[in-house]
Amino acid sequence: MKNIYTMKIPTYLMLALSFIAISCSDSFLDEADVFRELDENTFYSTEADAISAVNAVYGPLNELGLFQRFYMYIAHFTGETALTNGTNPNEQVYVNFNFNPASGDLIPRAWSDCYKGINRANQVIDKVPGIEAPNQDILNRVLGEAKFLRAFYYFELVKLYGNVPIYNQVFNGDLSDESQLFPLQSPASDVYAVIETDLLEAIANLPESYDNSNLGRATSGAAKSLLGKAYLYQGKYQAARDILNEVINSGVYTLETDFINIFPKTNENNGESIFEIQFQAGFGAAFNQPNLGGPNESNWISNWFSPARNGFRNAVPGRQTIEFFAQFPEEDAIRRTGTFARPGDVWESWNPVADDPVEAGQWRNRQLIFPDPDLPVLGIRKYAGGPSDPETFNQNSINYRVIRLADVLLLFAEAENEVNGPTAVAYGAVNQVRLRAGVDPLPEGLSASDFFNALRTERRLELTFEYSLYFDLVRWAAAGKINSSELPEIMPGFTIGKNETLPIPEAELIDNPNLVQNPGY
C-alpha cells in the first residue's frame, strides 16, 4: 500500500488526498468528514469514489486561509470594518496594510489552502477518467466540479498574489525533478488562461441545478459567473458581457424580494445565490476541534461581526463605511437596515442558553481600538443571524454567498457600459438591484463615465461586508478606471505599487528558491 504523505517541500506539491472526505450521509451538505489513509492505486474505482474525492476538493473553501476567516481581514484593508479592543494583537497587522512576508498565519494560509484545493482537484482530474462506470454523466459532472474548483482557487491566488506557480499535475514523487519541486511563477495572464480553460470545460459538464441533497455543488451558472468575473478582471469586457448575460437570461436565478432575506441561515441556497460556501458547525467547531462535537467547518463571520451582550465582538463598521452610507440617509434605508445593526435591534447571543437575546443598545461596553466618539454606535448585520437563527457557543454555520445574482447584474452592467456605453440593458441591470433596494432608477442620459461612477457607488451599497471592495478598487485602478491616487485615500496605509498584491509567504520563498517576492515587500 502506498501511503500519501506530506513532504517538506513547497506547498503546491503537497499530495492533497492524504486525507479524503468519505461521506457518512447521502446528503452533500450534511455529510460528516471521516478521514482515513487510502491507497491511491485502488481508491478510484467507482462513482462513489469519484464523488467522495471531489467532495474533498471543496474542503479548503471552508478553511482559515479563505472564507472561514481570512477574507474577513480583507474588509479591514478598505476600512469597511474596524477592530475592537478585544481583538488579538496578531490580527491587528491586517489593519492599514501593516503586514509583511512573515506576518501572522493567515497570509501563508491563504496561499497553502488554495494550493491544497488545486492539488486535490489535480488528483480528481487525473484519476477519474480511468474509472469504468455505467453512468458516465456522473463522472463528467465530477470532472466539471473539479475544474470549476481548480479555477476558483487559481482566481483567488491571482487576485491575492499576482504571479503564482501553475501546478496542474499530480506530483510523481521524483525528488530529483526540479521542475516539479521548484516551479517558476507564471505571469498573471497565463494563470488567467488556465482559469478560462478550466471554466469553459466545467460549463460543458455541469448541470444548471441539483436536487436538495446536492445543494452547494458547482453549477454551470456558477462557472459562467466566475468566468465572467475572470474576463472582467482582465479587461475582456465583450466576453464578460456575453457570458454574464447568459447567466442573467438563464431563468435559473431571481433576486430575493427582500434584501434582508438574502443572508439568514434560514434562507441558504436561495434563488439569488449562484455559489455558496457551505458551512456546518457543532460545539467543537468553536475551537476547530472536530472531536469535541463538530467538523472544522464553522464560519467565523458571525463570531466576529454580530452584536454581543457585553459589547462589540471583534469587528464593527469602519469610519469609511459609516460615512459612505451617511451620504444616502433616506433613499437607501432598506440596504442600510440589512447591512448594519443598530441600538434597539435584538440578536441571539453566543450564550447557548435559550431565549437570551442581545440588545444592541448595550454595545458601548466595548470600545474601538481607535476611539471615534463622533461615530454612531453600529454593528454588522450581514451574516450575523438573528432571533430565528440561534447558534451554539462561539461558532456559526451560516453559508457564505460568494456569487449572487445582484453581483452578476452589476458586473454585467459594468461590462456592457465598457462595450456599448450606458445602454438600456445596462440601465435595466442596475435598476433591478436598485428597485429591490427601494430606490429610484438611475437618472437617464448619463455619460459612460458618470454611469461607471454610479455603478461604483451601487456596488458598494449592495456588497459592503461581502469582501469585494478591495478587489474592485485594485482592478479599477489597474484598468485606468480610477486614479491610483484614490487608493490610499480610500484605504489608509495603502502603498501604490505594493499593496495591489499580498506578499509571497516567507516560508514559500525559503522552500522554493525560484519564487520572486512581490514588489515592495
From 108, 106, 150, 102, select the one nearest 11 (Cα to Cα).
108
Which residues are within 8 A (CB) of 47 and not within 5 positions of it... i.e. 6 or more apart?
Answer: 131, 133, 135, 138, 139
Of 343, 367, 398, which marks where a domain is finished? 398
Domain contains 337:
yes
pTM for this one? 0.86
Domain contains 77:
no
> pLDDT at position 299, please?
47
Q: Note whether 292 and 155 are same-domain residues.
A: no
Domain contains 437:
no
Domain contains 336:
yes
Residue by residue, pLDDT tens for the chain (521 residues) are 333 333 445 665 554 444 444 433 334 544 434 334 456 667 888 999 999 999 999 999 988 888 877 887 888 788 787 766 555 566 667 777 888 898 877 888 999 999 999 999 999 999 999 998 888 999 999 999 999 999 999 999 999 999 999 999 887 777 777 878 899 999 999 999 999 999 999 999 999 999 998 999 999 999 999 999 999 999 999 999 999 999 999 999 999 999 989 988 889 999 999 999 987 654 333 333 333 333 444 445 555 555 444 444 566 777 788 888 888 876 678 998 888 876 555 554 444 333 444 443 333 333 343 344 455 556 777 876 544 444 444 455 678 899 999 999 999 999 999 999 999 999 999 999 999 999 999 999 999 999 999 999 999 999 998 989 999 999 999 999 999 999 998 888 899 999 999 999 999 999 999 999 999 99
Query: At 128, which CATH number?
Result: 1.25.40.890
Domain contains 462:
no
In the numeric block, the cell 482515513 is attached to 36
> pLDDT at position 354, please?
39
> pLDDT at position 43, please?
83
Domain contains 171:
yes
For CA atoms 238, 240, 245, 250, give the dihedral sign: positive
| Residue 408, CA atoms < 13 Å, CB-side half-sphere | 29
Please state whether 347 falls in left (phi above 0), alpha (psi between -120 and 50) or beta. beta
Q: Note whether 291 and 391 are same-domain residues.
A: yes
Q: Note whether 181 and 32 are same-domain residues.
A: yes
Q: Note whether 127 and 204 are same-domain residues.
A: yes
Q: Note whether 25 and 125 are same-domain residues.
A: yes
Q: Note whether 36 and 130 are same-domain residues.
A: yes
Give the integer Cα–Cα distance in Å for 410 and 427.
10
Domain contains 96:
no
Give the integer Cα–Cα distance in Å for 429 and 496.
33
> pLDDT at position 281, please?
53
Q: Note whether 37 and 110 are same-domain residues.
A: yes
Identify whether the C-beta of residue 215 lies closer than 8 Å to the C-beta of residue 195: no
Domain range holding 312?
A: 279-398
> pLDDT at position 494, please?
92
Of 360, 379, 398, which marks where a domain is finished? 398
Q: Note whether 111 and 208 are same-domain residues.
A: yes
Q: Note whether 171 and 46 are same-domain residues.
A: yes
Beta strands in 188-289 (DSSP E): 273-277
Q: Note whether 30 and 169 are same-domain residues.
A: yes
Looking at the structure of the chain, the number of domains it has is 2
With residues binned 3-state (H G I as helix, E B as strand, rest as coil), the percentages for the chain, rounded to 5, are 50, 5, 45
Q: Note whether 32 and 151 are same-domain residues.
A: yes
Give the integer Cα–Cα distance in Å for 169 and 175.
15
Domain contains 458:
no
Q: Note whether 147 and 10 are same-domain residues.
A: yes
Of 354, 378, 398, which marks where a domain is finished? 398
Render pLDDT for 462-492 as a digit per residue (tens, 0 to 9): 999 898 999 999 999 999 999 999 999 888 8
